[in-house]
Amino acid sequence: MTSLFDPIQVGRMQLANRVAMAPLTRNRAPGAMPTALMATYYGQRAHPQNGAGLIVSEATAISHQAQGYSDVPGIWNDEQVKAWKPVTDAVHAAGGKIVMQLWHVGRVSHVDLQPGGQAPVAPSAIIAKTKTVLIKDGVPAFVDTSMPRALTLEELPGIINDYRRAARNAIAAGFDGIEVHGANGYLLDQFLRSGSNTRTDAYGGSIENRARLLLEVMTAVTQEIGSDRVGLRLSPVTPANDAQDPNPQPLFEYVVKQLAPLQLAFLHIIEGSTGGPRDHVQGDKPFDYVAFRTAYRNAGGQGAWIVNNGYNINLANQSLQEGADMVAFGRPFISNPDLTRRLREGADLNAPDRATFYGGGAKGYTDYPVLA
């Protein structure tokens, strides 16, 4: 029987165990620059026996326009590449592996965070009924997102190039690969779903058209750095950030069938509502995750199938027996740098302190205790 604690080859990466650390936004990168404290944080979670076999970095902006929250890191310039190097060095020194999550928030942003105070960009000029985080004088405040403007057809190649540059920069910064953020109601997910995409050109309307930008981005990044170190995160039914689609099953099955020939290193699936109920429904029937995975495998899709959202050890083991290859844990990794060891030994978990999730310093970040 496969266990969470068995090693696995994922694309180019040999991983010590099947526990992944999910991407976690922590807002501790002022000016979009990673810091030494971030190197400590990731290094603490990278031990091959005690920590994550694979760390997915916090969502990282591929351009200034891609930013939607205060103090999230970026990967669009050489200074950022240089500043990320101590993070990847700390993870590798500890014996771990780390991929960078590449992020464009689309409409989930605020004019205060955008270049020149302009409107955020989106598939269509439809405001997201959600909040973003602005940090003023060190205090996080949740504020409404700004009204976006629709991207023109002519602008889309530039967005694809921003992903391409970010993938190249991530490798230059020492990352073992990248994960494209296609989930949680951000730009690529906004294109996928009819609730946020009412375009009448080749990027809106039919499922094929709504999936086009995501597939073009995946093709570009795999050409840039090699498909054996590229993954993608999807969240077929999440309502996060006002993501809405009445018929997610054929949409997401189409997406993964089209991805199969790319031979990605992994797909990373958020089951249910991100950080919430696993049985969340969009449309008129529950999402069939077995049919979804089967559609990918039957189309020849290889690579690891990573599942996420609200897992505990029993659910994780059950999922591995049923065909998942790895399980990602988010919030438990915030408060338990040695989560893998605790799961293996059945030890108690430290509870995370919500007040320190977004913004701040070492408190609630690098100060959680490990087992003796």
What is the contact surface with ligand 8OZ in residues (CB under 6 A)? 25, 59, 69, 184, 240, 274
Asked if residues 141 and 218 have their Cβ atoms less than 8 Å apart, the reply is no
What are the two backbone dihedrals, phi and then psi, of residue 299, each rounded to the nearest 5 degrees?
Answer: -85, 0
Verify whether residue 186 is a known catalytic residue. yes
Instruction: Tell me which of 41, 186, 254, 368 is the catalytic residue.
Output: 186
Measured in Å, how far apart are the chain's first and last C-alpha atoms? 29
Asked if residues 94 and 49 have their Cβ atoms less than 8 Å apart, the reply is no
DSSP per residue, 323-370? T--EEEESHHHHH-TTHHHHHHHTPPPPPP-GGGSSS-SSTTTT----
- Choice between 50 and 274, CB closer to ligand 8OZ: 274
Which positions ≥6 away from 180 have C-beta within 8 Å?
A: 101, 102, 163, 188, 214, 217, 218, 221, 230, 231, 232, 233
In the complex, the smallest distance separating the C-beta of residue 15 from ligand 8OZ, rounded to whole angstroms, is 22
What are the helix (H) ranges across 75-206? 78-94, 156-172, 187-192
In the complex, the smallest distance separating the C-beta of residue 7 from ligand 8OZ, rounded to whole angstroms, is 28
In the complex, the smallest distance separating the C-beta of residue 27 from ligand 8OZ, rounded to whole angstroms, is 8
The CB density around residue 130, as the number of other CB atoms within 10 Å, is 17
In the complex, the smallest distance separating the C-beta of residue 23 from ligand 8OZ, rounded to whole angstroms, is 7
The CB density around residue 224, as the number of other CB atoms within 10 Å, is 18
- Choice between 66 and 320, CB closer to ligand 8OZ: 66
In the complex, the smallest distance separating the C-beta of residue 344 from ligand 8OZ, rounded to whole angstroms, is 28
What are the two backbone dihedrals, phi and then psi, of residue 252, each rounded to the nearest 5 degrees?
Answer: -75, -30
The CB density around residue 236, as the number of other CB atoms within 10 Å, is 25
In the complex, the smallest distance separating the C-beta of residue 217 from ligand 8OZ, rounded to whole angstroms, is 16
- Choice between 25 and 336, CB closer to ligand 8OZ: 25
- Choice between 122 and 295, CB closer to ligand 8OZ: 122
Which positions ≥6 away from 53 have C-beta within 8 Å?
A: 7, 8, 15, 16, 17, 18, 19, 20, 96, 97, 326, 340
In the complex, the smallest distance separating the C-beta of residue 188 from ligand 8OZ, rounded to whole angstroms, is 11
- Choice between 167 and 187, CB closer to ligand 8OZ: 187
Q: Is 300 exposed, middle or buried (0-12, 13-18, 19+ CB in 10 A)?
A: exposed
- Choice between 204 and 248, CB closer to ligand 8OZ: 248
Asked if residues 185 and 131 have their Cβ atoms less than 8 Å apart, the reply is no
Q: Name the residues annotated as catalytic.
A: 186
